[in-house]
Chain A
Amino acid sequence: MALSKVWVFAETDENGSLTTLSKELLTKARDLGDTVEAFYAGDGNDIAESAGAFGATAVHATGPIEGQLLGAPVGAALAAAAEGVDLLLGGTSYDARDAFAVASVKLDKPVISNTTAIDLDGDAVVTTVPVFGGEKLVKTKFTAGGPMLCLVRPKSYEASESGGGAASVSSVDVPGDAPSATVLATHVEEREGPQLDSAPIVVSGGRGLGDPAKFEEYIEALGKKLGAATGATRAIVDAGWVPYNKQVGQTGKVVKPDVYIAAGISGATQHLVGMKGSKNIIAINKDPEAPIFSVADLGIVGDVHKVLPALIEALNAKG
C-alpha cells in the first residue's frame, strides 16, 4: 500500500539546477507515495519545471534564505510545514543533514541516515543502511508514525522523468526565532573536466603513491589519457595532497562508474563504500592482502611506481 504523501527535500547546484540526487529521490518517491511534492529552501519558481518533470506536483518553498546558514531556519520551517506528510526524503548532503537534524528535534521523530533503499512492507516503511563498510545491510522500520525522516545516499536509485508538467508553487513560513549562523561569503571551487559523480571512468589514487607529485604525474596523466575523472582517498585529502572535492568514500563522493581504477589504495572501509558499486574495478597495490583486492575484477599486485608509468606509456603508444 502506497503512502499518501511523500515530500522530497529538493536541492540545487551552483548553477541553480536541480541536483541529480534530488531527481533520484523524486523518482523513488513516485514508487512510494500517491502524492509527491518538493520542499525547497529558495525561490520555488526556479525548480517548478524541473521538479515537475520528475513527478512533483507542488513545490513548497521558503523563498531565498539570505546571509544565514540554512540548517536551523530551514529545518524549523520544514518541521512546521510537514504536518500530514508521511515521509520526508532528503539526500545525505551537508545542508539536508543539517535541516533534517533540526526538523527531527522539532518534530520529535527519528531520522534514519545513509539509507540506500526504501521499501514498503504493508503500511511500514523499511530502510536499508549499509554497515561494516557495506558488508552487512541493516533493515530498519519506522515505528513512530509520520512524518518519517529519511536521508538517502546518492546513486541509490536512478533518476527518470515522469513526464509531469510544472509543479504548483506555494510558500512556507520560516520561523524567525531559530538561532542562526551568518554566512559571510560563499566560495565555489573550480571544477574542470569530467566530474566524479558522472564520469564513466574514474582513476583514483591513495597513500601508496608515496608523495603528492605522483598524483599529478600518474593519476592526472592517466585520467587525461582515458578521459576519466580523478579521485582520491580520505587519507591523501586529509594530508592536503588534493582538494576535498576529489574525495571518494563515506565522507566524500559516491561513484558508480563503468570502470574504476584504484592505484595505491589499500581499500579502507571508508573508501570502499564510496566505490564498490562500480561496474568494473581495477586495482593496483603492492600488498596482496589489501582489502581493495576483495572487490577488484582485475588486481595487479605490484608497485604503482612501476605499473602506472608502463601503463601510461603503453596507452600513449596506442595513440
Chain B
Amino acid sequence: MALNVVVCVKQIPDPADPGALDADFTLKRDVKLILDESDSYGVEMALQLVDTAGGGEVTLVSMAPNGEVSGLRTALAMGAAKGVLVSDDALAGSGALETAKTLAAAIGKAGDYDLVISGVESSDGYTGVVPQMLAAQLGHPMVSFAKSVEVSDGKIKVARQTETGSQDVEAPTPCVVSVTAGVVEPRYPSFKGIMAAKSKPVDTLALGDLGIDGGNVGWAGAGQEITAVEDAPARQAGEIVEDDGEGFQKIVAKLEELKVI
C-alpha cells in the first residue's frame, strides 16, 4: 500500500557559524542556508516509512527567503521526490503561527498525503509549537514528540516522549507527527542522490499563489514586536588549568572550598 508523506523542513543559517541579526533584530537569513539538522530526522523517518509501505513518495514543504533551495536539495538528495517552497518578502518577521498558516496552505498544494512529519523544533527559532499549530490549522490529529513511528491500516502508532516517560499513542491518518532528534539515523546523500536531486522538481510559490494576504503574516501579522536585543550578562572568567597529572587535586580543592565534601 502506497504511503505519501509530506515533510516540513527548515533551511537555516549554519548554526556552526556565528549568528548575526538584521536591523529588525531577526536572524540574518540572506546568507547560505542549510537543511536544519533537526529536520534530517523527519526526512529519514519519512523515507523509511515509504520504503516499508512499499510505495509512495516524500514531498518536502519549506518556507525561506530569496527562493532558497540548497537545504531542500540536501533532503532531495537523501531521497525525497519533490519540494514545495514558499518564498515571499512579506513573510519576514513571521512568528510560529504565521509560519504554520503558510505551511498549511503550502501542504494543500503538495497533493494527496497520508502523513505530515516535522521536527519538534527548529535549531534557530526553537519555539516547539509549529507542528501542533499546523495540525490545528489543517484540522488533523497531531502526535508530538515522537520517539518511534509505525504506520499500518490507515493508522499511525507512536511512542511519545513525556516528562516522566512515554505514551503509546495511536491516530488515524492523515495526521501530523513531530519527531525528536535521534529517532532514526539520517542517511548521507549518495553521489547518485546528489546528482539526481539537481533535476527533481521544486515548485516555488509566493503568498498570492496560496491566497494568503501579506498583511496577515510577517511583521504585519505577527502580533508581536521585538523591541531590543541585549547581551546576556557574561559569567566571570574562571581558572583554566592544563592537567599535569595533578589536575584532580584542583577539583578536590574546589569542592572543599564549596563545602560539598
The contact of A104 among B129, B162, B169, by CB within 8 Å, is B129
A238 to B161, CA, bound (A): 13
A285 to B151, CA, bound (A): 43
Is the CB of B76 closer than 8 A to any CB of chain A?
Answer: no
A105 to B165, CA, bound (A): 28
Is the CB of B109 closer than 8 A to any CB of chain A?
Answer: no
Contact digits for A173-214, partner B, Cβ 8 Å, 1 yes 0 no: 000000111111111110100000000110000000000000
Stretch with Cβ within 8 A of A (4 or more), from B4-12, B43-51, B187-195, B237-245: B237-245
Determine if B238 and A297 form an interchain contact, defined as CB atoms under 8 angstroms apart: yes
The contact of A298 among B135, B227, B250, by CB within 8 Å, is B250
Give the Cβ gap from B242 to chain A, nearest Cβ, in Å.
5
A187 to B147, CA, bound (A): 13
Determine if B254 and A136 form an interchain contact, defined as CB atoms under 8 angstroms apart: no
A37 to B240, CA, bound (A): 48
Is the CB of A65 closer than 8 A to any CB of chain B?
Answer: no
B182 / chain A contacts, CB cutoff of 8 Å: 234, 237-239
A144 to B15, CA, bound (A): 31
Give the Cβ gap from B156 to chain A, nearest Cβ, in Å.
9
Determine if A105 and B161 form an interchain contact, defined as CB atoms under 8 angstroms apart: no
B25 / chain A contacts, CB cutoff of 8 Å: 138
Determine if B165 and A187 form an interchain contact, defined as CB atoms under 8 angstroms apart: yes
Contact digits for B126-159, partner A, Cβ 8 Å, 1 yes 0 no: 1111111101110111111101000000000010
Using CB atoms, name the residue of chain A closest to B127.
A113
A105 to B135, CA, bound (A): 10
Give the Cβ gap from A145 to chain B, nearest Cβ, in Å.
8
The contact of B258 among A135, A140, A251, A258, by CB within 8 Å, is A258
Determine if A102 and B181 form an interchain contact, defined as CB atoms under 8 angstroms apart: no
Contact flag A92-B128 (CB < 8 Å), given A105-B136, A181-B143, A184-B168: yes
Determine if B181 and A251 form an interchain contact, defined as CB atoms under 8 angstroms apart: yes
Determine if B232 and A134 form an interchain contact, defined as CB atoms under 8 angstroms apart: yes
Determine if A187 and B166 form an interchain contact, defined as CB atoms under 8 angstroms apart: yes
B23 / chain A contacts, CB cutoff of 8 Å: none
Q: Count of chain B residues with Cβ under 8 Å from any Cβ of A?
A: 79
Using CB atoms, name the residue of chain A closest to B216.
A108
A189 / chain B contacts, CB cutoff of 8 Å: 164-166
Give the interface size class of chain A.
35 or more
Contact flag A295-B129 (CB < 8 Å), given A136-B230, A185-B168: no
Contact flag A188-B164 (CB < 8 Å), given A298-B238, A311-B252: yes
Give the Cβ gap from A181 to chain B, nearest Cβ, in Å.
4
Determine if B161 and A244 form an interchain contact, defined as CB atoms under 8 angstroms apart: yes
A258 / chain B contacts, CB cutoff of 8 Å: 258, 260
Stretch with Cβ within 8 A of A (4 or more), from B64-72, B83-91, B94-102, B196-204: B94-102
Is the CB of A101 closer than 8 A to any CB of chain B?
Answer: yes
Q: Count contacts between A and B, CB distance < 8 Å.
A: 265
Determine if A182 and B100 form an interchain contact, defined as CB atoms under 8 angstroms apart: no
Give the Cβ gap from B189 to chain A, nearest Cβ, in Å.
20
Determine if A102 and B136 form an interchain contact, defined as CB atoms under 8 angstroms apart: yes
Is the CB of A171 closer than 8 A to any CB of chain B?
Answer: no
Contact flag A142-B224 (CB < 8 Å), given A92-B128, A111-B96, A181-B143: yes
Determine if A72 and B136 form an interchain contact, defined as CB atoms under 8 angstroms apart: yes
Interface centre among A239, A295, A302 (most CB of B within 10 A): A302
Is the CB of A106 closer than 8 A to any CB of chain B?
Answer: yes
Contact digits for A218-254, partner B, Cβ 8 Å, 1 yes 0 no: 0000000010000000100111000011000011000
Determine if B238 and A181 form an interchain contact, defined as CB atoms under 8 angstroms apart: no
Interface centre among A75, A110, A185, A293 (most CB of B within 10 A): A110
Chain B residues numbered 204-261 whose CB sits less than 8 Å from any CB in chain A: 222-232, 235-236, 238-243, 245, 247-252, 254-255, 258, 260-261
Give the Cβ gap from B151 to chain A, nearest Cβ, in Å.
14
A135 to B234, CA, bound (A): 8
Give the Cβ gap from B80 to chain A, nearest Cβ, in Å.
22
Determine if A113 and B171 form an interchain contact, defined as CB atoms under 8 angstroms apart: no
Is the CB of A126 closer than 8 A to any CB of chain B?
Answer: yes
Determine if A300 and B250 form an interchain contact, defined as CB atoms under 8 angstroms apart: yes
Give the Cβ gap from A236 to chain B, nearest Cβ, in Å.
10
A95 to B140, CA, bound (A): 17
Contact digits for A291-319, partner B, Cβ 8 Å, 1 yes 0 no: 00111111111110011101100110010
Using CB atoms, name the residue of chain B closest to A237.
B182
Is the CB of A81 closer than 8 A to any CB of chain B?
Answer: no
Give the Cβ gap from A156 to chain B, nearest Cβ, in Å.
13
Is the CB of A4 closer than 8 A to any CB of chain B?
Answer: no
The contact of B226 among A140, A144, A281, A282, by CB within 8 Å, is A140
Give the 5 A-B CB pairs with smallest separation, nearest first: A302-B243, A144-B223, A238-B182, A101-B132, A181-B171
Task: Jot down 16 A-B pairs with beta carbons below 8 A, ordered by A.
Answer: A14-B165, A69-B167, A93-B163, A101-B130, A105-B97, A113-B96, A113-B127, A140-B227, A141-B224, A143-B224, A179-B140, A179-B175, A180-B171, A259-B260, A276-B235, A298-B254
